[in-house]
Amino acid sequence: MLHRLALGFIAIALVTGCGKSVNSPPSERQLVDVGGHSLDTLIMGTGSPPVIFDAGFIGGLWRWTTVQKQLSLHTRTLSYDRAGLGQSEMSNHPRTAKQIASELRTLLTNAGLSPPYVIAGHSAGGLFMRVFTAEYPDEVAGLVLVDPATEDAYDYWRINEPDNWNGVEAEVTKNFGEPPAGWYGQWEELPRSIAQARQSWPLPDIPVIVFTAMKPISEEWMLANSERLNVWLEAHEALVQQMPKAEHIVIKDADHVSILEETVVSQKILEIVEQTRH
């Protein structure tokens, strides 16, 4: 009952906060040097613990716009694009999950954000944030994975849909135009990133929330393999089993992209922020 009441108060705070026309949270868009290259960064709000957002494989800090605006009314927030994506400069280092985690940690330090952090990753950003948590366990107070990519899901795709796996560059080009340099770097190093994610256990004893979207992103996508959503769900269930404090929330009416507009995502992140404070 207390949990439900807390969630209700947080929901009210988010909804009423979004209606404010005064006292808007301060925001700053900047390029932050992380050692030889700079990453495009958006910092909003004040307070602690900071909430850090990472987007999907092709990037786009703007993907987190709704959630970041809501959370920035209550604490400091940071979204960014990984190297070679969006306006971020490309790195000379291999684009593995561990390298991405290392650069994010440098970014947070150079941007003046101190741990502990509440971190949230969407899609491939979820896999990268898991590795970050394993690499820097003392600096993470909570982890939120929004429809995250997993090792099991990537392996299923590679083994059971080889034509789609091998044609991913053409599919990305069709939907987004020529892939950016960072995308190529991440794709080339994906096998190493998957291996690093598999070795990133155990995670620290912190609150974890895993969201699963169960609505097909398109009819064409679902027709390509009717088992995709079941495999995705099973991969998330297996992930949750490895984390003793994980809560699994399945949203039947959200797809892989629209889930970032679901109010419950902001509510749950704010819950962890409040837990960390108290």
pLDDT exceeds 80 at position 243: yes
**Is residue 38 domain-resident?**
yes
**Is residue 248 domain-resident?**
yes
Mean pLDDT along residues 242-263:
94
Between helix 124-135 and helix 190-198 the angle, nearest 10°, is 50
Q: Residue 225: which pLDDT band, with cuts at 50, 70 and 90? A: low
Residue 16: the pLDDT is: 33
DSSP string, 54-93: E--TT--GGGGHHHHHHHTTTS-EEEE--TTSTTPPPPSS
Residue 219: the pLDDT is: 66
* Cα 161 from Cα 254, distance rounded (Å): 24
Cα 72 to chain centroid, rounded: 16
Q: Provide the number of structural domains found in the chain.
A: 1
The CATH number that applies at residue 145 is 3.40.50.1820
Mean pLDDT along residues 13-37:
67
Mean pLDDT along residues 57-68:
93
User: Percent of the chain, pLDDT > 90?
Assistant: 76
* Cα 58 from Cα 181, distance rounded (Å): 10
Q: What is the DSSP letter of 46?
A: -
Q: CB of 245 within 8 A of CB of 133?
A: no
**Is residue 263 domain-resident?**
yes
Residue 59: the pLDDT is: 81
Which structure tokens are listed for 52? 């850090």
User: Which residues lie across from 40 on neighbouring strands?
Assistant: 31
**Is residue 23 domain-resident?**
no
**Is residue 82 domain-resident?**
yes
Count Cβ atoms below 10 Å from residue 83 Cβ, excluding itself. Answer: 27
pLDDT exceeds 80 at position 15: no
pLDDT exceeds 80 at position 39: yes
Write out the H or E segment, with its range, that includes residue 164: helix 162-166
Count Cβ atoms below 10 Å from residue 174 Cβ, excluding itself. Answer: 9
Q: CB of 34 within 8 A of CB of 106?
A: yes
Q: What domain range is 51 assigned to? A: 2-15+29-277
SS3 category, 198: helix
Q: Which residues contact 251 (CB under 8 A, 6 or more apart)?
A: 211, 212, 213, 214, 215, 259, 262, 264
Q: Residue 106: which pLDDT band, with cuts at 50, 70 and 90? A: very high
pLDDT in tens, 190-224: 999 999 999 999 999 999 999 999 998 776 756 56
pLDDT exceeds 80 at position 30: yes
- Tell me the pTM: 0.88
Residue 137: the pLDDT is: 97
User: Percent of the chain, pLDDT > 70?
Assistant: 89
Q: CB of 109 within 8 A of CB of 207?
A: no
pLDDT in tens, 162-191: 988 898 888 888 877 889 999 999 999 999
Q: Which residues contact 206 (CB under 8 A, 6 or more apart)?
A: 133, 140, 141, 142, 143, 245
**Is residue 24 domain-resident?**
no
Count Cβ atoms below 10 Å from residue 62 Cβ, excluding itself. Answer: 13
Radius of gyration of the chain, Cα coordinates, nearest whole angstrom: 18
Residue 172: the pLDDT is: 83
**Angstrom distances, CA of residue 151 to CA of 43, 116, 179:** 30, 27, 22
Which structure tokens are listed for 261? 């507009």
CA-CA-CA-CA torsion sign (15, 19, 20, 26)? positive
Write out the H or E segment, with its range, that includes residue 127: helix 124-135
